Amino acid sequence: MVDKESAVPLNKRIGMANSADRFTITVPKRPWWMWVLSGLWLLAEILLVQTALASSREGEERAAAVSWIAVAVLAAVGMLVRLCRRRLGSSERGIHRF
Partner 1 sequence: MGIERKQIRRRALLQAAGLLAAGGAPAVAANPARGAGNGGRPWWVKPVDHPTLGYKNGALKRFSGNNMFALYKELKEQREGPGSYEAEQTARTARFAAWMRQPKPGYSLPDRQLSEAAWTLMHTVQPGTGILSWTRISVRTPAEMGVDRHTAPPEETANIVKAAARLFGAGLVGIAPMNEVYTILRQSNKDIVFEDVAAPAITETKFVIPRSMRWAVAIAVPMDLGLLSRVPTALGDAATGLGYSQSAFTAGSLAEFIRGLGYQAIPSVNDTALSVPLAVDAGLGELSRLNKLVTPEFGPAVRLCKVFTDLPVACDQPVDFGLVEFCKRCKKCAEACPPRALSFDDEPSFKTRGPWNNPGHKAWFEDSYKCFQHWQKVGDGCGICLASCPYTKGAQAWIHGVVKAAASMTPRADGLFRIMDDAFGYGRQHDPEQWWTRNPPSHSTRE
Where along the sequence are the contacts to partner 1 (CB under 8 A)?
39, 42-43, 46-48, 50-51, 54-55, 57-63, 66-67
Q: What gap in Å lies between CA 59 and CA 68, rounded to an integer?
A: 15
Q: Map residue 58 onto helix, strand or coil.
A: coil
Q: Which is nearer to partner 1, 62 or 97 (CB)?
A: 62
Angle between helices 61-92 and 32-57 (to 10 degrees): 160
Beta carbon of residue 46, minimum distance to partner 1 (angstroms, whole number): 5
- Across 48-78, b (16+ Cβ under 10 Å) vs e yields bbebbeebeeeeeeeebeebbebbeebeeeb
- Closer by beta carbon to partner 1, 8 or else 34: 34
Task: Specify the residue, 12 or 30, whose C-beta has the smaller distance to partner 1.
Answer: 30
Give the nearest distance from C-beta 24 to partner 1 in angstroms: 13
Least gap, CB of 15 to partner 1 (angstroms): 18
